[in-house]
């Protein structure tokens, strides 16, 4: 496994950054709307839809729980490292909204409980 581009302490500081939490809450609600609009035959749709229903208006506690996974995801770690800032305040400010949305989109299935094998099984069945 490759070395992390940031220390665990830096990732933890970012996950605890108060300025990032409201943006993450809004991004979660935006992705929930996308999930509501997806076709019912989307892999893991029932679980994805249920998560969307649950977090449509995420409380601060829900967003804080999800934030650890979001910030620790490869796209967010890479985005944070690319900012070049050593502190969480400037890192959080430099991470774009699209980077946050992308990280949530990429991690939605895992949070919803959709198995990575579901995609592989469907791909085999369609060939």
- What would the pLDDT profile of 15-42 be if each residue is shown by its tens digit? 999 999 999 999 999 999 999 999 999 9
- The CA-based dihedral angle spanning residues 53, 58, 64, 65, taken in that order and rounded to the nearest 10 degrees: -20
pLDDT in tens, 65-98: 888 889 998 999 999 999 999 999 999 999 999 9
So what's the pLDDT on residue 66?
Answer: 85
Per the structure block, which two tokens stand in for 102? 């992308």
Q: Is the pLDDT of residue 2 over 60?
A: yes
Q: Which of 1-15, 28-42, 53-67 has the highest mean pLDDT?
A: 28-42
The most distant pair of C-alpha atoms in the chain lies apart, rounded to whole Å, by: 48
Closest CA to 88 of 73, 75, 77: 77
103 or 126, which is more confident?
103
Portion of the chain with pLDDT greater than 90, in percent: 65
């Amino acid at each position: 496994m490759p070395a992390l581009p940031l220390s665990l302490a830096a990732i933890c500081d970012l996950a605890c950054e108060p300025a990032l939490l409201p943006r993450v809450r809004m991004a979660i609600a935006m992705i929930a709307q996308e999930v509501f609009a997806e076709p019912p035959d989307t892999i893991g749709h029932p679980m994805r839809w249920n998560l969307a229903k649950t977090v449509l208006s995420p409380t601060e506690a829900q967003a804080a729980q999800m934030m650890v996974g979001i910030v620790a995801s490869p796209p967010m770690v890479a985005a944070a490292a690319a900012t070049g800032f050593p502190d969480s305040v400037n890192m959080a400010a430099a991470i774009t909204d699209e980077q946050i949305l992308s990280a949530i989109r990429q991690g939605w299935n895992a949070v919803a409980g959709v198995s990575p094998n579901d995609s592989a099984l469907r791909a085999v069945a369609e060939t």
